[in-house]
Structure 1
Amino acid sequence: MDGHGRATAPAAGTVLNALATHHGSAFAIDLETTATVDLDDSGEFDGDVAGHPDADTRLVARCAELAVERWGDESAATDTAAIGAHVTTEGEIPMAAGLKSSSAAANATVVATCDALSVDPDPLDACRVGVQAARDTGVTVTGAFDDASASMLGGVVVTDNDRDELLAHEELDSHALVWWPNQQAFSADADTARCERIAPMARLVEELALDGRYGEAMTVNGFAYCAALGFPTDPLVEALPDVTGVSLSGTGPSFVALGERDALESLADRWNTREGTTWLTTTRQTGCRTT
C-alpha cells in the first residue's frame, strides 16, 4: 500500500471548560497544525513531531490506526490488515498550552489518513475517531469533543462530551489575542475533583453560551477556572472592560481574548510585560481540511 495524505486543522480557544460538567464550548482560531500521513504495508503505526524529537506521538499513531480500521475497507487497498502508517505533524500551535494542540493534531491526522486512503469521511465521524484516540492514549480527561469539534468544523460549538454530541454550532467572527507563557500544563494532570466544585458556575457559562453570549460566558469561565486550577486572574482583569470576552484557555496556561482589533492591540501591550508570547489573530470559520 502506498498512499500519501496531508491535512491542516486549526487551534481553538475556550468558552466553557468541560472538566466540571462534561459539557464544553470552544471556538476555532487561526493557528494551525499540519499532519502528513504516509501509508505502507508494515502493519505498524508511528509518528514524529517536527522540531520535537522527544515528543509523545502515541496520539497521532492511534489516530491513523483507528482511521484505517474505520475507513480502510472503503479504500482501494487490497489488504487493509497489512496497512501501516507514519505520521509527521508540524505547526504553529504550542503544545500543552491550552490551545487544543492535541485536538488539532488528531483531527489533521485522521483527515490526512483518509486522504491517503482516498476516502471522504463525514467531519463529525472523523472528529469522533480522533476523540476516541485521545481517550485511548490518555491525553484527555473529558474526551475533548468540544475542542475537537471546534477545530474540525470551525466557528464556535457547544457540546456534550459524554455523548460526543454537538449541541450548538455557529459562526463566530472576531479578532482574537492569545498569550501563552513559557510553561506547559497537561490536561490529563488537571485536578478534576477541584474543578467539579465549580459545576454551578459551569452550568451558568453553558446557559450563556447556548444563548449566544459567548463573550460573557468565556469571561465567567475564566475567573472560575483560574480559581479552580490555581492560575492568576490578573490577565483577565487587565483585559476588562475593553474586550468582548477573555478566559483561561483549556486547563491553561494560555489566555485568550476576543474583541475589536484596537482593543486587543492595547491588551497585547499589557500582556507583553509578562514573559511569554502574544499572538494577534482571528477566529476561524473553516475547520480541518486537506492540503
Structure 2
Amino acid sequence: MSGIGESHGCISVINGIVNGKAAVLGINLLTEASYTETGTEPYVKVIGSEDTDDNLVRICVRRTLEKIGADPGVGYHVTIKSQIPPSRGLKSSSSVCNAVIKAVLDAHSFEMDIMDIIRLGVECAKEAKVTVTGSFDDACGCELGGLIFTENYSTTLIRREPAEDYDVILCIPEYTKERVPRERYEAVTGRMEEIQKIAETNYLKAITLNGRLIAEVTGTDNSIAEKALEAGALAAGISGTGPAI
C-alpha cells in the first residue's frame, strides 16, 4: 500500500506572529513525499537533510491514520524530498505536513477536503512545536498558492486570489533562524496593523515594509533586501522570521 503527495513553499507578505492576521504568496519550490506501509516499524528518510528531526513526519502519519480510522501503529516507510531549506522562513514545515498527509491519504484512497487537510497539518505542526501560531497562513499558501490572507487564531481563510507571475529570487543564508520572544513581536502590533492595511491593496509594498519591521524585531540584517530594491526589485524583505530574503 503506497501513496504520494506534494506541496509547495510560500513567502511572507504579513507575518502572522504579531497579531494572528497574516498574508503569504505561494512560490513553486516543491516538496514531495512518498508513503508505503511495510514492515513493523516507522522509518523516515529526508533526502539531503538526513540529520533533520523526523518527529513532525511521524506525527503527520499518526494523526492522519487516526483521522481516517486506520491503524496508527502500522509499520511504514516515508521518504521526503524537498527543494525548500528548513528553518529559513520559507515554510518548509507546512509544506512537509501537507505532502505527508496527502501521501497517507493517497495510499488509503481516502478523499479529504483540502481545507481539512490544511487544518490537520496545522494541528500536527502545533503538536510538533515547530510553529508559534500554527502557521495556518503558511499551510494555505503552500497548498493553495496565489495570494492568501488568513486569520490564524481561528484558522479562517479570509481571502484568496491569483497573483501575477513574478520571478522570485531567494537569498538563503547558511545559518538557521533563532527564536525571538513573542513579546517583541507583540510590541510592534500597531505598526504591523498599518502594514496590514497597505497589504489589502498593495501586497508588494507590504512585503517590503513587513520585512523591514521583522528585521528590526529579530535583529536580522536587511541590507540585501535594500540593495535588491535599489537594483529594481518590486519588493524585498525577510520571509517568516528569516533569515531568508
- TM-score, length-normalised on structure 2? 0.93
> Where does residue 226 of structure 1 map in the other structure?
215
> What SS does the corresponding residue of 1:175 show, helix, strand or coil?
coil
- Given the superposition, is the C-alpha separation of residues 184 and 82 from structure 1 closer, same or farther in structure 2, using an over 3 Å criterion? closer
For 2:198, the equivalent position in structure 1 comes to 208
Q: Summarize the Cα distance change of 1:199–1:118 in structure 2 as closer, same or farther, 3 Å threshold.
A: same
Distance 1:137 1:126 in 2: 17
Report what 2:225 is aligned to: 236
State how 1:65-144 maps to structure 2 within 5 Å: 65-72=62-69, 80=71, 82-144=73-135
Report deviation, 1:205.
Answer: 2.2
Question: Cα offset for 1:51?
Answer: 2.7
Deviations 1:220-244 (A, max 9, x none): 1011000000011212211225222
Q: Structure 2 vs 1, CA of residues 59 and 249 (structure 1 numbering), >3 Å: closer, same or farther?
A: same
- Cα deviation for residue 19 of structure 1 reads 1.1
Deviations 1:171-211 (A, max 9, x none): 1122211110111115xx232111111111221222222x2
CA 1:227–1:120: 2 relative to 1, 3 Å: same
Choose which of 166, 169, 175 in structure 1 pairs with 2:167.
Answer: 175
Alignment of 1:226-265 (within 5 A): 226-240=215-229, 242-255=232-245
State which drifts further: 169-178 or 128-137. 169-178
Q: Tell which deviates more after alignment, 159-168 or 230-239.
A: 230-239
Indicate conservation of the 8 Å contact 2:226/2:236, yes or no.
no
Secondary structure at 1:176 match in 2: coil
Runs of 4+ off more than 4 Å = none
Rounded to whole Å, the distance in 2 between the matches of 1:45 and 1:214 is: 42
Aligned residue in 1 for 2:60: 63
Instruction: Judge conservation of contact 2:26–2:142 (CA < 8 Å) in 1.
Output: yes
Match of 1:286 in 2: none
1:155 has 2:146 as partner: yes
Q: Contact between 1:97 and 1:254, CA under 8 Å: does it hold in 2? A: yes
Aligned-partner SS, 2:236: strand
Task: Please list the CA deviations of residues 17-75 of structure 1 after superposition, one character each: whole Å capped at 9, or x if unmatched.
Answer: 11111111111111111111112474x645221132221011111111111111246xx
Distance of 1:126 and 1:61 partners within structure 2: 16
Structure 1: tracts of 5 or more residues without a match: 74-79, 256-291
Counterpart AA for 2:196: E
Partners of 1:163 and 1:46 lie apart in 2 by 34
SS of aligned partner of 1:180: coil
Structure with the largest fraction of strand: 1
Whether the aligned pair in 2 keeps the contact of 1:45 and 1:62 (CA below 8 Å) is no
Overall identity of the aligned pairs, in %: 30
Q: In the TM superposition, what whole-angstrom CA distance separates every residue of 1:122-163 from its partner, at most 9, and x where no partner exists?
A: 111101111100000100011000111000111121111111
| Paired letter, 1:55 | T
Equivalent in the alignment of 2:48: 51
1:38 counterpart residue number: 36
Q: Which amino acid aligns with 1:217?
A: A
Distance 1:4 1:72 in 2: 17
